[in-house]
Amino acid sequence: MFPKVLEFSLSDFFSSLFGVKQVSIYSYATLIALGTLVAAIYTKRQAKKDLGISNISNTFFYGIFIAGFVGGKLFYYLQDPILFIEDPSLMSDNFSGGFVFYGSFVMIMPYVVWYLKKHQIPVFPMLDIFAITTTIVHAIGRLGCFAAGCCFGSPTDSGFGIIFPTTHNTAVHPTQLYEVVLLVSIMLLLLFIKKHQQFKGQVFLVYLMLYAFGRGILELFRGDERGFIIDNLLSHSQFIALCLISISAYFYYKFHNQNNINTTNI
Q: How remote is the C-alpha of 215 from its chain's centroid? A: 11
Specify whether the CB–CB gap between 205 and 248 falls below 8 A. Answer: yes
pTM: 0.86
Q: Tens of pLDDT along 74-101?
A: 888 887 777 777 777 766 655 555 678 8
Q: Helices in 79-151 by DSSP H: which ranges? A: 81-86, 89-93, 101-118, 123-148
Contacts of 84 (CB under 8 A, 6+ apart): 77, 90, 91
Q: CA 28, 205, 114, 62: dihedral to nearest 10 degrees?
A: 20
Answer with the residue of higher pLDDT: 53 or 86: 53
Specify whether the CB–CB gap between 148 and 28 falls below 8 A. Answer: yes
Q: Tens of pLDDT along 111-139?
A: 999 999 999 999 999 999 999 999 999 99
CA distance 80 to 84: 7
Contacts of 113 (CB under 8 A, 6+ apart): 123
Phi, psi of 99 (to 5 degrees): -130, 150
Q: Percent of the chain beyond pLDDT 90?
A: 54
Any binding-site annotation on 142? yes
Phi, psi of 63 (to 5 degrees): -65, -40
Q: Tens of pLDDT along 13-35?
A: 777 877 778 877 888 888 988 99
